[in-house]
Structure 1
Amino acid sequence: MPLSEHEQRVLEQMEQALYAEDPRLASTLKSTQSGPGAGLDRRRVALGVLGALAGLGLVLVGVMTQYIWVGAIGFLGMVLGGAYAATPSRKPQSKLGVVGGTARPRATGARPTGKGPRKPRPSGGFMQRMEQQWDRRKEEGPF
């Protein structure tokens, strides 16, 4: 679900405040954040390293037997194995799903046992509460 214009403005203000307070942290976070599924997959790295080692073995065999074409194939295997290990996977690292999908709806008006009366929730939505907290922190200062 896309963000509303107000939420986008609040997010931009938060980013600007982060850049103003700690530009080094902001630049570090921006450089490491490449989107969902970014990063190296262990299986990809392992297979790439194994391919590169097999290519190195073929290069050595090619040098010992003086067959240049075996060494060339080995070199190609080393390059392709290293490239395969270095490229990030295209799919997300973890798949999120429903945890405990056997939830049952409660009866209307029923409260869980062992709990006292519920505290009233603050008025407004989540983003309004976050914006209020942000404004309060900004007014109070850094300490």
Structure 2
Amino acid sequence: MLAQLEQALAEEDPKFASSMEGTRRGGPTRLRWIIGVTGVVVGLGLVLVGINTTMWVGAAGFAVMVAAVAFSLTPPRRGKLAVVRDDGTAGPAGSGRRQKSGSGFMDKLDDRWDRRGRDGWS
């Protein structure tokens, strides 16, 4: 029953379903934290070596520290939500229909033009 509800949600609103997939309260994973801390330590070591040698080594160390912190704080990428269809095939949610990119100015103009043609305006 729960699988059917999940499948119906994925078919109706695939954007919402994919945003809800794999959510957890912990934030970044433990491996990302370990890589981040290691990167900060290595970058700090390069900054200290750069003080004694050349400025470029210190700049590279600072760049390593910034990249490590950015990597550890960004959430991991998630896979696409798959939907099992009635005929038994599996595929990404919402693959059969076209998604609008947003409600921008051009989309609104297109909608107004379509409504104008349907309603018989001249």
Considering fraction of residues, name the structure with more strand: 2
Q: If the TM-score is normalised by the length of the shorter chain, which range does it land in?
A: 0.3 to 0.5
TM-score, normalising length: structure 2: 0.45
The higher radius of gyration belongs to 1
